[in-house]
Amino acid sequence: MDEVALERSVGALAQPQDAHAGLGGEPDAERGGAQGERRRVHRLRAHGHGDARRGGGAVGERARVAARAELRTGKLALVVLATDPPTYWFDPTRPDSRVARLEVDAALQRAAGRGDAFAAAEREMRERGSRYVDFLIPGLLGMNLMSTGMWAIGFSLVQQRSGKLLKLFVAAPMRRWHLLAAQILARLVFLALEAGILVAFAVAALDVPLRGSLLAFTAVAALGAMTFVGLGLLVASRPRTIEGVSGLMNFVMFPMWIFSGVFFSYERFPEAALPAIRALPLTALVDALRHVMLDGAGLAGVASELAVLGAWGAISFFAALKLFRWQ
């Protein structure tokens, strides 16, 4: 049986590339065997699939098994079995598979003589800020602020506690909250450098827009950094070992890695879960960064996200003061 395989390569930080199509499988005498395969390659190339190809020497069940494996692992977006009418074999949960199904169906239908009822006009949107990389960079920035802020202060405090340094600091002529505030401010300096390097690279090398004011962006990033440093202070307020604080840090951060919309929109989760997801500090930070960078929002436009971050930061800091173990 003839098979048409449409393969679509999607880069991690780029738009989908041109589709690739191939023919392979057991020759069908009724359709002319290899000649029928060549005709289908020609049809796909004639309708915009310039990289159409034949599948190679695999025949029969081997071709079907190979196609199934490539479809399952994401190397193929669509396999078309040359039944009468054609059978489209694809994963409906994958956007590239659905697009491939529509494109190949349109190409084969036109090749079989179908005419369009009208010629639709097309307008391509190439506006900055609409790519996946534009969506991703604010998420990566938020995740970096969370991870660095929490891990840096967490490891530092636990090491000082296990080495009896905190006990010595308590005897120093200063208030305890001064020491904790100094720990937070010291981490903010390094976080500012890391965030600045990432954003400068994204704007200069990847052409990611920064439509909002630099002041609004800096304020959002600074509040987010303080929030996560405060949260790290709370998590590290009791553990005495690196292993203990590592487990607690992962327990706190792992849900935010998944649910907070760093790599994909959290709107895909069930609607009942969205209020809880929006209440997470990383969700608020990433949303605020995206609004400022991509939509040009000011501080007033992200007031609700800033309120969430401020609440998490204040509660974490004051709770850490109450729970902190100095020895």
- Which pLDDT belongs to residue 105? 87
pTM: 0.68
pLDDT per residue of the chain (327 residues) written in tens, 0 to 9? 444 444 433 332 223 333 344 444 443 433 444 555 556 556 555 555 544 444 444 445 777 788 888 888 888 888 887 777 888 888 888 888 888 888 888 888 888 888 878 888 888 777 777 788 999 999 999 999 999 888 888 888 888 887 777 777 777 777 777 777 777 787 788 888 888 898 999 989 988 999 999 999 999 999 999 999 889 989 988 888 888 888 999 999 999 999 999 998 899 899 999 999 999 999 999 999 999 999 989 999 999 999 999 999 999 988 988 887 776
**Residue 7: per-residue pLDDT:** 40
What's residue 3's pLDDT? 47
Question: Helix, strand, or coil here: 57?
Answer: coil
Strands 87-89, 2-10: pairing is unpaired
The pLDDT, as a whole number, for residue 158 is 84
pLDDT at 9: 34
Query: Considering only CA atoms, which of 301, 321, 318 is closest in space to residue 310?
Result: 318
pLDDT at residue 44, rounded to an integer? 58
Buried b (16+ CB within 10 A) or exposed e, 251-262: ebbeebeebbbb
Element housing 218 (H / E): helix 214-235
Q: Which residues contact 201 (CB under 8 A, 6 or more apart)?
A: none
Question: By C-alpha distance, which of 40, 2, 45 is closest to 24?
Answer: 2
- For the chain, what are the domain ranges? 2-111, 132-323
pLDDT reported for residue 137: 94
